Structure 1
Amino acid sequence: MDLKKELILYVVFGVLTTVVNIIVYVIFAKFLNIDYIISNIIAWFLSVLFAYITNRIWVFESKSSNILKEISLFFGGRLFSGVVDTSLLYLMVDILLVGDFVSKVVTQIIVVILNYVISKVVVFK
């Protein structure tokens, strides 16, 4: 697949993954009144599942027969970006006193870019 098509698909599925992440976060944090950090962890986990499936099938068109290695690398990379996401969210909300929803949107922009690099260079190389 050419890079332009790959980037377009990554952006489309990255946006959808971000939407999944934010919707799940809002459901848990705002409607169920669960702590924002716990809500963020749940949102991260469910959005990673969505991202792995879409990235494997449509973005990087993986044909790897070693799915265990691939999914382990994918989740490891996403775990790293999840820690970055949660740390930045904490910094923005508790230290900088930015609203949690605005902070969540900002952190997701950073995470989408980080995740592409990890997927391209490490997971689906």
Structure 2
Amino acid sequence: MILKKHKETILYLFFGVFTTLINIVSYLFFTRILSFNFILANVWAWIIAVLFAYLTNKFFVFKSMNIDIIFLFKEFLSFVSFRLLSGVIEMLIMYVLIDLLFVNDIIVKVITNIVVIILNYLFSKTIIFKNLK
């Protein structure tokens, strides 16, 4: 009963974990393998994670099955807009903690991902996919 009642939240957290892993692994790839600056690496990791998150949120979490091209465009634009907002918040936190307070970038990356997961769930649940039920 609890699983059924909270299925959406559980699925969001499940895919959120994978999105976070994709984000962090991508970030590590760009910073450690390709030697990108942490800002540029975070932008590329963010793009990859947002694309994955949109697809999983659309089809598996919030079950938005409308694939009309105009609808997809509007929905994706809304999704990306709110992800940009949470991405800017993430970048500001990273800048302050890494550049100004000299906290380890991996620790900061994990912390910011937790903040971003919470913000993105709230945006998705209350704004982006709210009229789909």
Return the TM-score normalized by structure 2: 0.90
RMSD over equivalenced CA pairs, Å: 1.0
Alignment of 1:1-125 (within 5 A): 4-64=6-66, 65=68, 66-125=71-130
Count of matched residue pairs: 124
SS in 2 for 1:63: coil
Q: Write out the 4+ residue segments of structure 1 that deviate beyond 6 Å after TM superposition.
A: none
- Return the structure number with greater relative CO, CA threshold 8 A, min gap 6: 1
Change in 2 beyond 3 A, CA 1:44/1:70: same
User: One-letter code of the match for 1:84?
Assistant: I
5+ residue gaps, structure 2: none
The percent of aligned pairs where both chains have the same amino acid is 44
Structure showing greater Rg: 2
Residue 11 of structure 2 aligns with an amino acid whose one-letter code is L
SS at match of 1:79: helix
Structure 1 regions of 5+ residues with no counterpart?
none
